[in-house]
């Protein structure tokens, strides 16, 4: 539910099939911030195939990281793709942690990566490189032009393991049959 100003912080954006930007095709984005200054979110359903968690921590000088198949590096968005963000459960909180909603927090420091590597991090987490960002009024315009649907976030959609099911599940959560969404207006 949007706040009294119509802002969608803490909600999910769901790309419509007509999304013209291929980087956002069938994406689900958790909105970490949304105000009159613009918006920032993390894609929660697109894996990065070219880097693993141990490779990333090695590049950052975090040594002796055990093999953790449960921590995947994901595409967070096309802005600042060399910068890492961890969207996580609020059971992990440090000075640099931003609490986004009742059940979600965001930390963008190397310390959270160390904590994840050693098993001392949050219970649920998404490690994303890059983010999706919108200038003031840009996201509202894209929603108005039917580029995005939005819905309440829930932990299974945000942190679920089956990335390929997040988009159809998010659409279904709105009461819409994903197969009925068409690329061509008027040709459902």
What's the CATH code of the domain at 81? 3.40.1740.10
Count up the domains in the chain and report the number: 1
**Is 187 contained in some domain?**
no
pLDDT tens, position by position, 162-182: 999 999 999 999 988 877 775
- pTM for the full model? 0.90
Is 188 inside a domain boundary?
Answer: no
Measured CA to CA, the distance from residue 92 to residue 83 in angstroms comes to 20
Print the domain residue range for 59: 11-176
In a domain, 106, yes or no: yes
186 domain-assigned: no
Give per-residue burial for 91-103: e unless 16+ CB within 10 Å, then b. ebeeeebeebbee
Determine the Cα angle at 79 with ends 69 and 102, to 5°: 65
For 129-158, the pLDDT digits (tens) are 999 999 999 999 999 998 999 999 999 899
Residue 98 forms part of a structural domain: yes
Question: In the chain, what percentage of residues exceed pLDDT 90?
Answer: 60
Q: State pLDDT tens for residues 61-118.
A: 887 666 666 788 999 999 999 899 999 999 999 999 999 977 999 999 889 998 988 8
Structure-block tokens of residue 65:
């990281």
- Measured distance CA(124)–CA(73) in Å, rounded: 14
Give the separation between CA 7 and CA 132, rounded to whole angstroms: 16
62 vs 142: CA distance, rounded Å = 40
- Indicate the pLDDT class of residue 186, thresholds 50, 70 and 90: very low
Q: Looking at the domain assignment, is residue 6 inside a domain?
A: no
Integer Cα distance of 111 and 147 in angstroms: 36
Question: What are the respective helix, strand and coil percentages of the chain, to the nearest 5?
Answer: 25, 30, 50
Residue 4 belongs to some domain of the structure: no
- Domain assignment present for 1: no
């Amino acid at each position: 539910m949007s706040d009294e100003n119509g802002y969608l912080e803490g909600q999910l954006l769901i790309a419509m099939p007509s999304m013209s930007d291929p980087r956002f095709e069938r994406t689900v984005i958790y909105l970490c911030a949304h105000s009159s200054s613009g918006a920032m979110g993390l894609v929660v359903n697109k894996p990065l195939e070219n880097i693993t968690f141990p490779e990333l921590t090695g590049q950052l000088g975090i040594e002796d990281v055990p093999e953790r198949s449960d921590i995947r590096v994901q595409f967070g968005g096309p802005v600042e793709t060399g910068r890492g963000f961890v969207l996580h459960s609020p059971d992990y909180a440090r000075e640099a942690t931003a609490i986004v909603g009742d059940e979600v927090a965001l930390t963008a420091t190397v310390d959270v990566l160390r904590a994840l590597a050693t098993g001392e991090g949050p219970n649920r987490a998404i490690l994303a490189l890059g983010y999706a960002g919108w200038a003031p009024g840009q996201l509202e315009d894209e929603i108005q032009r039917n580029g995005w649907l939005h819905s309440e976030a829930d932990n299974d959609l945000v942190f679920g393991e089956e990335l390929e099911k997040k988009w159809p599940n998010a659409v279904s959560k709105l009461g819409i049959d994903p197969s009925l969404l068409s690329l061509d207006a008027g040709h459902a």
